[in-house]
Amino acid sequence: MRNHKRIKWAGILLTGCLLTMTVLQPVRADNTGEGSLSSVTEESQIRPIPSSGGKYMLKSDGFYCLNEDGSKDAVPAVHYFDHFVIGGTVFNGYYYHDESGRFKAEDTHLVHIKQVSLPVDDDSESEAMVFDGFYMVSNLGKISAAPQVRYLDHVNTDGTTFDGFYYFDQCGRLVQEGIIRYLEGVKCQEREFSGWYYFGGTGGVLSQGGTTPEGLAVDESGRVPDMESPGIDNLKKTLEKLISGYDGEWSVYVKDLGTGEELVINDKKMVSASLIKAFVMAKTYDNMDVVYSTQAARLNTTPDNEAVMKKVENLLTNMITVSDNESFNELVRLQTEYYDFALGARTINRYLRKEGYSSTSVLHTLAPSSSSPVGIGESNTTSVTDCGRLLESIYRKKCVSKKASKQMLELLLAQNNTTKIPTALDAGISVANKTGENDSVQHDIAIVYGEKTDYILCVMSEECKNENDAIEHIRSISGVVYDYLNW
């Protein structure tokens, strides 16, 4: 997954080499524990490592990680220390030791850490942090965890040679997947970086010419000139350039929710696929009394019965979070006392016209599902502009009511299908989205909570020859939009 989160920072030049590691012989710390270090004191230069599952730190000719029986820890590991002091030396941050058990006290060097999980307390509910990739390890084995640019001069680590400028993320990992980063006054190897740069060469090295996966030109210095003037106007030009190279028909809507600026590219009515479910969700909240009443009649009970409310809640949840087609069909039928899909569709469409969603209509049941096909037209339709306006009304708590908008937003934030717009963004960025797809269309609409500004992005496509290409194009659009609006 490509990472598009913007970070400003100062670059630091750190290079080094791997040195021969000292092997620690088994050590017994006391004569009373019979294979245990549990009775040692701080003065003995052996101390338990906090939250490590029974590991110890030894200071001798260096610093070593020991098992409880005093033997060296032969399993590579990463430990987190919070101002841990032993023998006058303070450990603070993430530290790595390899199969020798030694926290290396030598020059900075590049190491290849393979699927090493950070130990967590047995009572902790959090997931273990996993280190996997190439990391810069400095004095005492500390992982340099500040985002920065480093110059590596023919450094060979674990069979891979690195030569040039590389980007290291906030966890200290060398990013090899290809990434566009905004740098401001960063100095490294007598060179200053200011602007947008693409680290997308072999192994993640700074590119010199060519194009990014989104089709943006990269100059000989690694800069991406088209990214130099972020903002809605330039974003539109960049997106138009990207889309011009895509197969099929594409529509894009973007709105900066902070400034109110928006752009629309090729707004047109398209087959909605499952995007129509977001509109049925809105009408269901608007028409909840009737929906409850119709459901109650089917259960032969009262509308305020807990089973009725739970059933409608489950239908909404399944329709949005896992895009269940039968839940959609059922909620359309529940819109009138007659429990009829065609009548329910017409009720929803009157609501959509009243709200100004001129390109959106419920016209047919969705399949595959257990319902027999029923329709008052061919395919359900919508447009990126209609979708954008709906999402904004939810975001601003103006869709039906504040309470209803909050509940709708929670459903969108709980979306299970996050393989399109969200995939191009950092895991820490919240996205409320709804996808739509069938054999001929690929869509995604989202509210993105950015580092600098929140925004709406709606992308619809049809008649693309390759489904995977269409999904990757949506991801590319998502990444570019985030970079432009959150530079």
Residue-wise pLDDT tens digits, 261-293: 999 999 999 999 999 999 999 999 999 999 999
Mean per-residue pLDDT, 124-129 = 56
Q: How far is it, in rounded angstroms, from Cα 387 to Cα 449?
A: 17
At residue 456, the pLDDT reads 98
At residue 228, the pLDDT reads 72
- pLDDT for 115 beyond 60: yes
At residue 13, the pLDDT reads 23
At residue 283, the pLDDT reads 98
Computed over every residue of the chain, the mean pLDDT equals 87
- pLDDT for 19 beyond 80: no
Amino acid at 375: G
Out of 323-327, 363-367, 463-467, pick the least confident: 463-467
Q: How far is it, in rounded angstroms, from Cα 426 to Cα 7?
A: 12
At residue 17, the pLDDT reads 25
Q: How far is it, in rounded angstroms, from Cα 94 to Cα 59?
A: 18
- Per this entry, what is the length of the chain? 487
Q: pLDDT tens digit string along 380-390?
A: 999 999 999 99
This prediction's pTM? 0.66
- pLDDT for 41 beyond 90: no
Percent of the chain with pLDDT over 70: 88
Q: How far is it, in rounded angstroms, from Cα 181 to Cα 3?
A: 9
Q: pLDDT tens digit string along 75-109?
A: 999 999 999 999 889 999 999 998 999 998 777 88
Mean per-residue pLDDT, 396-407 = 98
Sort 345 into a burial class: Cβ within 10 Å, 0-12 / 13-18 / 19+.
Answer: buried
- Write the CB contacts of 106 (distance below 8 Å, at least 6 apart in sequence): 19, 139
Mean per-residue pLDDT, 340-365 = 98
- pLDDT for 15 beyond 60: no
Q: Which residue has the higher pLDDT, 428 or 21?
A: 428
Helix (H) or strand (E) holding 94: strand 89-97
Mean per-residue pLDDT, 70-74 = 91
At residue 35, the pLDDT reads 44
Q: How far is it, in rounded angstroms, from Cα 288 to Cα 166?
A: 55
Q: How far is it, in rounded angstroms, from Cα 481 to Cα 445?
A: 13
Mean per-residue pLDDT, 32-37 = 44
At residue 436, the pLDDT reads 97
Q: How confident is the model at residue 146 (pLDDT cuts 50, 70, 90)?
A: confident
Amino acid at 333: R
Nearest in space to 182 (alpha carbons), one of 169, 159, 198: 198
- pLDDT for 199 beyond 70: yes
Out of 82-86, 176-180, 362-366, pick the least confident: 176-180
Distance of CA 456 to the CA centre of its chain: 16
In the 8-state DSSP scheme, what is residue 119?
Answer: P
Specify whether the backbone of 476 is left (phi greater than 0), alpha (psi in -120 to 50) or beta: alpha
Q: Which residue has the higher pLDDT, 346 or 3?
A: 346
